[in-house]
Structure formats: structure tokens, C-alpha cells
Amino acid sequence: MVRFEDVSLRYGNGPEILKSVNLSLEPGSFHFIVGPSGAGKSSLMKLMYLAHHPSKGRVTLFGRDTREMSRQDMANIRRRIGIVFQDFRLLDHLSALENVALPLTITGQPLEKVRKNVTELLTWVGLADFLDAKPPTLSGGQQQRVAIARAVIARPNLLIADEPTGNVDNAIAERLLFLFEELNKRGTTIVVATHSDSLIRRFNRPIFRLAHGEVHLDYPSVDRARKPKESQTP
């Protein structure tokens, strides 16, 4: 799904943010990315969704060398990736429902056709009463949930989430991670950057640890608690 081979990244003439990174994500895998602020977590994820190109080394997505992709190739690849940004990037003139439906409507599906699925997903993340609300009227945590729903509504092949639970309480955070787990069971490859030690322990997935521009893979050994029955997703 994703492969980095001796990948380094620097911005302009600045220092290297990432140094000779080697990693791979198999289809259907689920990884956390952790590290202190400034360690390069967001930069690593930007390389995964083609927002940046490496200063050196090779990034391969879906079996394609990104150095050899045309603009159309990159556009086609991005359609297979769901992204949760730290700054949400919602469209203020659209309702919560319309924002979430956007990945489907831009492919030509009419809003009325997708409304049921979008409504169910927004209800599941606790926003049943805010379907018609515009982003400026929502709290940060509510906007975060809209952004997550938008990223997963089309069931992407690869989901990249940058601090997706940073603006919500622990109960909602766990609920959102269960949503990611359901997607993962259906074949979506998941990558989640987080500072939450409790979520890492709770969900017990392999971890990419960033420090000083280097990435190391860690396998937690804590057993996961049983998933609660009420956390079934639509």
C-alpha cells in the first residue's frame, strides 16, 4: 500500500525533518504514529498523501513510484485516500451533511441518493442534531467529527488521520477509533497520528515512533479490552 525507501525531507534550505526513513504499510494494516511535537509526524503523513515530495529517496503508493506519476495519476491516487487534517478544512458555506457528502457528490452521485448513509454516519458520531449546521456555528470538537465523517464516508483504500481525536473527549475518541477499526476490518489501511497514550494502549496496534527525524517500528504487547456492543458502526 505504502512504501518509503531511504526517504528524507527538508523544506527549502532548512534542516532535514525526516532522515533516510524506511517503512512499509501492508494492505489492511493499522498503525499509529507517535512522537513529540516537531518530530515530523505531519510531514511523514503529507508524503503519504502526496502533499509533498521527498527531498531524496522513493515513495511508492499502491504499487506506483510517485516520482513517475503525472498530475492525473496523482489525482486518481488521491481519490483512494481519506484524510483527516488537524485544521479540519471544511467548507464554511456547506452544511455538515453537505460537507460529509462531498467526496460522493463530486463523483456525480446526487445528494438525495447519499443522504441516508451520511445521516447515519453523522448520527453515529453524535451529530444527529447538527446535520444542517454550517461549520462556523460548530465547536472545534464537532467540526473534527464532521471532518472525520467526510474522510471515511467513501470507504477509502487508505485513511490518514492527523490527531483525529485532539478536540474530543475520551468517550468520543474511543468511538471514533472503533469507527476506524470497522473500516480496517473492511479492508481500509489506517494510519493515525496521536499523542494519546490511552488510545494507543486501548487499541494495541503497531506504532511508528518518530524522534530526531528517524522512524522506528514498535509492537505493543498490552492486550486489548473487549469492544463494547454499543459501538457498532452503520
Q: What is the predicted pLDDT for the residue at 229?
A: 40
- 71 plus 161 within the same structural domain: yes
What is the pLDDT, as a whole number, of residue 231?
Answer: 39
- Alpha helices in 53-212, H assignment, sequence order: 71-78, 96-105, 111-124, 140-152, 170-185, 197-203
Residues 101 and 146 in one domain: yes
Residues 76 and 7 in one domain: yes
Same domain, yes or no: 64 and 99: no
Beta bridge partners, 172, equal: none
Q: Which pLDDT score, from 0 to 100, does residue 221 have?
A: 62
- Report pTM: 0.88
Between the CA of residue 108 and those of 41, 112, 181, 217, what are the distances in Å? 34, 12, 28, 40
As beta bridge partners, residue 91 has none
Residues 89, 144: contact at Cβ < 8 Å?
no
Does some domain include residue 126? yes
230 and 161 in a single domain? The answer is yes
Residue 70: give its domain's CATH number.
Answer: 3.40.50.300
Residue 176 belongs to some domain of the structure: no
Q: If you count DSSP H runs as helices and E runs as strands, how many of each does the chain have, helices first?
A: 7, 10
Collect all residues with Cβ–Cβ distance below 8 Å to 195 and sequence separation of at least 6.
34, 163, 166
All three cell numbers of 35: 512522537
Check whether residue 151 and residue 189 sit in a common domain: no
Cross-strand pairs, 210:
215
Do 223 and 132 fall within a single domain? no
Whether 59 and 103 share a structural domain:
no
Q: Based on the structure, what is the number of domains in the chain?
A: 2
Residues 2 and 71 occupy one common structural domain: yes
| Domain residue limits at 193 | 1-80+157-166+183-234
pLDDT of amino acid 34: 94
Gap between the Cα atoms of 165 and 145, Å rounded: 9
171 falls within a domain: no
Helix (H, G, I), strand (E, B) or coil at 70: coil
Listed in order, strand segments (DSSP E) in 76-230 are 81-84, 158-162, 189-193, 207-211, 214-218
Sheet of strand 56-61: strand arrangement: 16-25, 2-10, 56-61, 64-65
Is 173 inside a domain boundary?
no
Is 178:203 a contact under the CB 8 Å cutoff?
A: no
Query: Considering the domain boundaries, does residue 174 fall inside one?
Result: no
Do the beta carbons of residue 88 and residue 136 sit within 8 Å? no
pLDDT mean values, one per 10 residues, the chain (234 residues)? 96 92 95 91 94 94 94 92 92 96 90 91 94 95 93 94 87 89 94 90 92 89 45 43
Same domain, 41 and 148: no
Residue 175 lies in a domain: no
For residues 32 and 194, the answer to whether their CB atoms sit within 8 Å is yes
The answer to whether 64 touches 75, Cβ cutoff 8 Å, is no
Say what the pLDDT of residue 31 is: 96
Q: With respect to residue 69, please indicate whether it lies within any of the assigned structural domains.
A: yes
Residue 208 grid cell: 511508528
Has residue 137 been placed in a domain? yes
Of 106, 135, 155, the one marking the end of a domain is 155
Q: Are residues 73 and 162 in the same domain?
A: yes
Instruction: Clarify whether residues 139 and 46 are in a common domain.
Output: no
